[in-house]
Amino acid sequence: MSTPTMNTLTPTAPLAPAAAASPLAGLLGPCLRGAVFVALVTGLAYPLLTTGVAQLVLPRQASGSLIEHGGAVVGSALIGQAFSGAGYFHPRPSATVGPDPQDASKSLAVPYNAGASGGSNQGPTNQGLIDSVTERAAAYRQTNGLAAGAAVPVDAVTASASGLDPHISVANAQAQAARVARSRGLDPAQVQRLLAAHTEPRVLGVLGEPRVHVLRLNMALDAVPAPAGQAPAALK
Amino acid sequence: MGLNLLEFALVLAVMTGLAIAMGRWLAHAFTDPRHWAPERWSYRALGVDPAETMGWARYGLALLLSNAAMMGLGYLVLRLQGWLPLNDLGNAAQAPDLAFNTAASFITNTNWQAYAGESSLSNATQMGAITFLMFCGATAGVAAAGGFVRALARADSQDIGNYWVDFMRMLWRVMLPLCFVMALVYVWQGMPQTLTSQATATTLEGARQQIILGPVASFETIKHIGTNGGGFFSMNAAHPFENPTPLTNLLHILSMLLIPSALTVALGHMLLKRRQGWVFFGAFLIMFVGFLALVYGAEQAGNPLLTQAGADQRLSATQPGGNMEGKEMRFGIADTALFVTTTTAATTGSVNAMHDSLTPLGGFVPLAQMMLNCVFGGDGVGLINLIQYAILTVFLAGMMIGRTPEFLGKKIEAREIKLVMLSVLAHPASILGFTALAMLWPDTGASLANRGPHGFSEVLYAYTSGTANNGSAFAGFNANTPFFNTTIGLAMLAGRYLTLLPMLAVAGSLAAKKTVAVGPGTFPTATPLFMGLLVFVVLVVGGLTFLPALALGPLVEQLQMTAGQLTP
C-alpha cells in the first residue's frame, strides 16, 4: 500500500511551494483513489460486516421477522396483509398497486403489495380522496352494522403511507369486534379479550400510539376452536 | 394531547443532551493532533500527506473534486447494475438521465429519488452505490463544517486545515462506528439485514405476498445520521421495514438532529466561545419549536372535508384522530408531526408519512423549513447556512448604527458580504427560477398527481427539496422524466456547491484577517438579543423571498379547504 506520492510530498521541502502554485497539484490521484477506497469501506465492508453480525446474533429479525404457521410462511410480523372475510378484523385501506396480469404495462389496485409500497399521495382538497373516503365510510358502516351517517374512525377510511400498515386503531378494532364475534359464533367477551391481548401500548408510555396488530389478532382468532354447530366462517 | 406535548419536550431534552456529548467529540476529532490507525491507512491508500495545510481554495477544490469522483463512481455502479451480482430479481440498470439524477442526488446529501427502490435497485446497488454515496455526501458536509469553524477560529492565517484529515476523521470516528452500533439496534427492532432479495408468504386468506428484503438496517443508519434521507423502499421511513416501531422512529429523529445540533456545541468549543454556540443552538431551536407547533396543530385538527365525508377525526383514548391519510397507525399524529418537522429542518428528506397528503398548513411547514434551510440544517451545511445569516445580521445591525460590522472578532467587509449574498441568492434563484421554468414547460401537467394549487405545490416542493438538498417530495409527483431529472439534478448541485463554496471562501477570508479588539462599538453576538435578531433576519429574508410562491400553493389551498372547495 505504500505509495511514492507520500514520500515525495513529505520529506522534500522544496517541492511544497511548487505544489502550492497550482491548487490542482496532487488532488486528482487522491480523489480517484479516495472514491474507490471509500466505496470499498462504506459500500461493501460496512454493510457486509453488519449483515454477518446481524444474521449471527438476530437471525429472525434480520431475515424479515417472518411468521410461520404449520411450516408455511404466512407473512411478516411487520407487514400488513389484506383481509376481507367477515370473520377477520380488516386492516386499513391500502393504496399499493401491482402490474395488471392481462397487460403488464398497466397497473391496478393490489392492496398490501409488499413488492411495491405506496400511498395515495392525494392532497387534502383532492376530489378523488374525498370520494374514496365517502365510499369507504359507507362500506364500513354496512359491513359492521353501524347506523347510517355514523362517524367512522378516521384510520378505517384513509390509506396508510406505506400501504403496508400492519396496525389499526383501538377504536377501529372495537367497531369491528361485534361483527367478527357474530360471524364466528363466538362470545363477544372472548373476542374482546383477544383484542385486548393484541393491543400494543405506547413504547415507554409516551412514544407512538396504542394500536392493534391485525395479523396476529386474526391468527389468534383462527386458533380458537369453532363452537359446536358453527362452520368456520372465517375464510368466507 | 398532554402526552404528545410531554413526548415533544422529552425528545428535545434528549436531543440537547446528545448535542453536548457529540459536540465535544466532534470538536476533539477536528483538533486532535494524533491520527488513528485506520486514518493513517486511509491517507496511505489515497496517497495524501495529512500534514499538508490547505487554504480555503484548495480545501474547497479537494472537496469538489473528490465528490465529483465519488459521484462518477456511483453513476457507474448504477449504470452497470445488470452486470453486478446480488441482482436475483433481475432489475435493469437506470437510464442515463435517471442515473445522473440519482448520483447527483446522493453525493449532494439530497437523496431525492425519482425511482422506487424496492422494485428497481439490486442489493448490490443499494450498498455499492446508494449506501456508499450517502456516506460520502454526509461526511464531506461535516468535514466542511470542521474546516469552516477552524477558519473562524484563526487569525492572520491562510490555513484552514486539511480536507482529507477532516473527511477521514469524520468517517472513522463518527459515521462508521455510530452506524454499525445503530444498525444492530435497528435489526433488534425488526429491520431486515440480509443479502436475500425477497420472501414469499401465503396470507391467511390464501393470497400470495411477495415481501422485498435486503440490507436495510445498515442503510437506515447512515440515511439518518448522515441527514441523507433516501429510502431503501419507495415509501421510505413510512415502510414498516425501514421504521418498524415508535422506538426506531425516535432513534431516526434523534439521529437526524444529532450532528447538526452538535456542531453548534463543537463550534463553541473550537472558538472557545461556548455561549456563541448556544446562541446558534437556541436560534435553531426557536424556529424548530414554532414549526413543530404549526404542523402538529394542523394535522391534529385534521381536514374538515374528511369529517363531512364521514370520518371521525377526534383525538381520544382509542384513536389518534386527525388527518390520517398517508400516515401510519404506529406513529399517529404526534410522532408524524415530529418527524415531518425534523426531516425538513435537518434537511434529511426521509419521510414517515406522505407529505403530499398533509393538510395545506401541514405541508407549508416542510416547504418553509427547506426554503429557510437553516433550522438545524443538514450535516455541516446547516451551521454554515446559519452563520451566513449571522454575518448578514451583524451587517444589518452595523448599517443601523453606522459602524463597520464585526463577527467573532473579525471585520466584515465588502468581499465577505458579496460572497454571503451570492450564497443567500443562489438558493432562491434556483428554487424560484426552476419552478417558473417548470410551470412554463408544456409536459409538467402530465407529472402532477393533484390539480389546482396543490399541483403547483408539488412542483415548488420538488425544486425546493432539490435545492435545499433535502430529498423529500410531494411524492405523487412523477419526477422521472428527462426534463425533471436534469433540472432537479442541476438544482441539487447548485444548492449544494453554490452555497458551500462561497461560504468556504468567506471563512478563508476571515481566517486571513487580524483579530480586532472588542470595543464599545462592538455588537456582541453571544447574547439573547442577537439570537432574536438572527431569527428575525432569517424569517424576514426567507419570508420576503418565498411568501409570494407559498401564497400560490399551500396558502390558497388552505382557504380552499376551509371553504369546502374540491379540486377535480
The 10s digit of each residue's pLDDT in A19-76 is 445 667 789 999 999 999 999 999 999 999 999 999 999 999 999 999 999 889 999 9
Strands B311-312 vs A152-153: parallel, antiparallel or unpaired = parallel
User: How far from each other are the two terminal CA atoms of chain B, in whole angstroms?
Assistant: 34
pLDDT at position B90 is 86
Rounded to an integer, what distance in angstroms lies between the CA atom of residue B487 and that of residue B495?
12
User: Higher model confidence: residue A100 or residue A37?
Assistant: A37
DSSP B193: B
Q: What is the mean pLDDT of residues A117-124?
A: 94
CA distances from B42 to A5, B34, B36, B50, B298 (A): 14, 14, 10, 10, 49
Between CA B58 and CA B63, with CA B60 as vertex, the angle to 5 degrees is: 110
Bridge partner list, A199:
A212
pLDDT at position A231 is 52
Is the Cβ pair B326, A124 closer than 8 Å? no
Nearest to B66 among A31, A133, A207 (CB): A31
Which segments of chain B have a pLDDT < 50? none
Over chain A, what HEC string results?
CCCHHHHHHCCCCCHHHHHHHCCCCCCHHHHHHHHHHHHHHHHHHHHHHHHHHHHHHCHHHHCCCEEEECCEEEEECCCCCCCCCCCCCCCCCCCCEEECCCCCCCEEECCCCCCCCCCCCCCCCEHHHHHHHHHHHHHHHHHHCCCCCCCEEHHHCCCCCCCCCCEECHHHHHHHHHHHHHHHCCCHHHHHHHHHHCEECCECCCECCCEEEHHHHHHHHHHCCCCCCCCCHHHC
pLDDT at position A228 is 64
Nearest to A125 among B44, B58, B565 (CB): B565
Q: Which residues on chain B are in Cβ contact (under 8 Å) with A68? A: none
Cell of A216: 396476529
pLDDT at position B521 is 78
Report B:147-206 residues touching A (Cβ under 8 A).
Answer: 164, 167, 171, 175-176, 179-180, 183-184, 187-196, 198-206
Confidence of residue A17 (pLDDT cuts 50, 70, 90): very low
- Evaluate whether A106 touches A94 at the Cβ level (below 8 Å): no
Which of A8, A36, A50 is the best residue to mutate to test the B interface, defined by the most B CB atoms within 10 Å of its own CB? A50
Phi, psi angle pair for B42, to nearest 5°: -65, -45
Closest CA to B369 of B461, B455, B298: B461
Q: Which residues on chain A are in Cβ contact (under 8 Å) with B308? A: 130
Report B:449-488 residues touching A (Cβ under 8 A).
Answer: 449-452, 454, 457, 474-476
Distance from CA of A145 to the nearest CA of B (A): 15
Rounded to an integer, what distance in angstroms lies between the CA atom of residue B249 and that of residue B358?
19
Please count the other Cβ atoms lying within 10 Å of the Cβ belonging to residue A61: 24
pLDDT at position A23 is 66
Which of B59, B176, B209, B351 is the best residue to mutate to test the A interface, defined by the most A CB atoms within 10 Å of its own CB? B209
Q: Is the pLDDT of residue A104 over 90?
A: no
pLDDT at position A21 is 54
Q: What is the pLDDT of residues A180-217, one digit of tens each?
A: 999 999 999 999 999 999 999 999 999 999 999 999 99
Closest CA to B215 of B188, B243, B195, B240: B195
Which of A9, A36, A78, A146 is the best residue to mutate to test the B interface, defined by the most B CB atoms within 10 Å of its own CB? A78
Distance from CA of A228 to the nearest CA of B (A): 23
Q: Which residues on chain B are in Cβ contact (under 8 Å) with A19? A: 52
Distance from CA of B274 to the nearest CA of A (A): 33
- Evaluate whether B169 touches B29 at the Cβ level (below 8 Å): yes
pLDDT at position A105 is 81
Cell of B287: 424556529
pLDDT at position B518 is 86
Helix (H, G, I), strand (E, B) or coil at B294: helix
**Sign of the dihedral defined by the CA atoms of residues B539, B542, B547, B550, in that order:** negative
Give chain A's length. Answer: 236
pLDDT at position A102 is 86
Report A:177-236 residues touching B (Cβ under 8 A).
Answer: 200, 202-204, 206-211, 215, 218-219, 222, 235
Nearest to B201 among A73, A137, A166 (CB): A73
Distance from CA of B237 to the nearest CA of A (A): 9
Is the Cβ pair A43, B203 closer than 8 Å? no
Closest CA to B501 of B177, B265, B163, B208: B163
Tell me which residue has cell 442515463: B96
Report B:22-61 residues touching A (Cβ under 8 A).
Answer: 41-49, 51-52, 57-58, 61
Q: Which residues on chain A are in Cβ contact (under 8 Å) with B475? A: 119, 121
Cell of B383: 451551521
Percent residues over pLDDT 70 in chain A: 86
Rounded to an integer, what distance in angstroms lies between the CA atom of residue B316 and that of residue A193?
21
Cell of B259: 450532528
Q: Which residues on chain A are in Cβ contact (under 8 Å) with B214? A: none
Which of A46, A53, A132, A168 is the best residue to mutate to test the B interface, defined by the most B CB atoms within 10 Å of its own CB? A46
Distance from CA of B131 to the nearest CA of A (A): 6
Please state the separation of Cα B58 from the chain's center in Å: 26
Distance from CA of A147 to the nearest CA of B (A): 12
Confidence of residue A230 (pLDDT cuts 50, 70, 90): low
Q: What is the ipTM of this complex?
A: 0.93
Q: Is the pLDDT of residue A166 over 70?
A: yes
